Amino acid sequence: MSRDGLASVRQVWWDQVRLEPYLTTWRYVLLLEAVEQWNMCEAEEGGSGESQGGILVVQLEHLGNLIHTIPLIRALQDRFSAIPIHLLVGPWCADLARRIGGVEEVIVYAPRTLQLNRGDRRSCLSWGDELKFLRSLRMRRYRLLVSCGPGNLVDRLLIQAVRPGRWLGARKAGDIYPEWCAASPVRYDSRKWEAVRLLSLAGPGERPGRAAASLSFPLDEESRRFGRETAAAARKRVGPQAALVVIAPGAGWPGRVWPAEYYVELVSALEQVGAAVVLVGGRDTFRRAREIARRAPVALNLAARTTLVQAAGIIAAAEVFVGSDSGLLHVAAALGVSAVGLYGPIRPLQWALRGPAHLALYHPVSCGGCQSWHPRSRCRDDRACMRAISPAEVLAGVRELLDVRRRGRRPAAGD
């Protein structure tokens, strides 16, 4: 891999590698070595040929990350209007990726790292099939590869396998990226709003502004109609004029989840002020949402019972959305729905919603530290940062946003 063996891997990716299963780490080390052998053989034979293909954008993270990548894709379309853009995503984002306009092809790839697949290995490839997949990417001769993530072993593997003419992405500590490709690295800065950080990858001279970095979510009329019908069903439990509050009680990492008993208290309080409530989320939210709905039966529970776009249709019909830092929170922002975001282990600087019609609730606490982006990491302090946000505070935030809405200030999509 380099002159100093695995030292550079340990230096740059130790926080990620130490949380992965031992065999998974070695799998990608060996895949990197196999791909490096391809590169050495091609170099001996006189090179790999000119890279005259299209642009490959790699975004293997989850829903919120892909939503923040859409402004970057628009900027690339404007800058390279005659060059086809392909988007490489995990199966967890394939449905949304296929709805993004201007993307010629969506390529689906499920790495075996838990950081990316979160324990869902149903679509992961065998060793041999993964090598074939990497070879198929190489044969496309991409002229430009854009890595959207902060950098990990899989990103490094894809750069080596694709061997693009040029690479754009975030550079972490250590000089570990290949010398044979023209690289334009941008320092990974978690203090920037994620959409702005990604938009800076569009190329030298790109000056991302708030308008250019606005979020969007492609939603069809059928899904919007489903949302309106669901809203009407929820209002039957309270009253026809009730404001609709959509709650997503889950998150991609357990340490970001607000306690279920707090949600029960919030739903009961919302009922007292005459609001209708719908619960949404994926499979990982099913048990928590069921418990909330059992203890606060006014809530209409549709968690794990809708597709992503149906859940988005429900959110689009809402007056206010409430949820932890998760994909559906960013769906709400992209659809122009006022939202109360609950932030704990991750500072809101990078992921908080923008605009006056959103609230980010955050109470930093002194704790042992955590790796809130990895499913194998565990909170050492019983989610103290999330428990610091009280139901009364969230209720006050919802009421404040409802008052803003009544005064006629609805956020534009992407605020």
Half-sphere exposure of 173 (CA within 13 A, CB side): 9
The dihedral through the CA atoms of 86, 88, 252, 15 has a sign that is: negative
Half-sphere exposure of 68 (CA within 13 A, CB side): 29
pLDDT of residue 170: 81
CATH number of 221-406: 3.40.50.12280, 2.60.40.10, 3.40.50.2000, 3.90.1300.10?
Answer: 3.40.50.2000
pLDDT of residue 252: 83
pLDDT of residue 133: 97
Residue type at 253 in one-letter notation: W
Domain boundaries, the chain: 7-202, 221-406
List CB contacts of 308: < 8 A, sequence separation 6 or more. 63, 95, 96
Question: According to DSSP H, which parts of 19-169 are helical?
Answer: 22-44, 63-79, 94-97, 114-117, 127-138, 153-162
In the chain, which residues have pLDDT < 70?
1-17, 46-51, 172-184, 203-212, 367-377, 381, 409-415
Q: Say how far apart CA 254 and CA 371 lie, in whole Å.
A: 11
Q: CA of 111: how far to CAs of 27, 120, 122, 205, 259, in Å? A: 11, 10, 11, 33, 31
Query: For the purposes of burial, counting CB atoms within 10 Å of the CB of 286, is it exposed (0-12), middle (13-18) or buried (19 or more)?
Result: middle
CB 189 within 8 A of CB 154: no
pLDDT of residue 47: 61
pLDDT of residue 119: 82
pLDDT of residue 2: 47
Tell me if domain 7-202 and domain 221-406 are identical in fold: yes
Backbone angles phi, psi at 247, to 5 degrees: -120, 130
pLDDT of residue 40: 83
Q: Say how far apart CA 147 and CA 185 lie, in whole Å.
A: 10
Nearest to 117 by CA among 92, 141, 94: 92
Q: Say how far apart CA 311 and CA 302 lie, in whole Å.
A: 8
Q: Which CATH class is domain 7-202?
A: alpha beta
Greatest C-alpha distance within the chain: 75
**Model pTM?**
0.90
pLDDT of 103-125, one tens digit each?
999 999 999 998 888 888 889 99
Q: Which two structure tokens, joined as six digits, stand for 267?
A: 């739903």
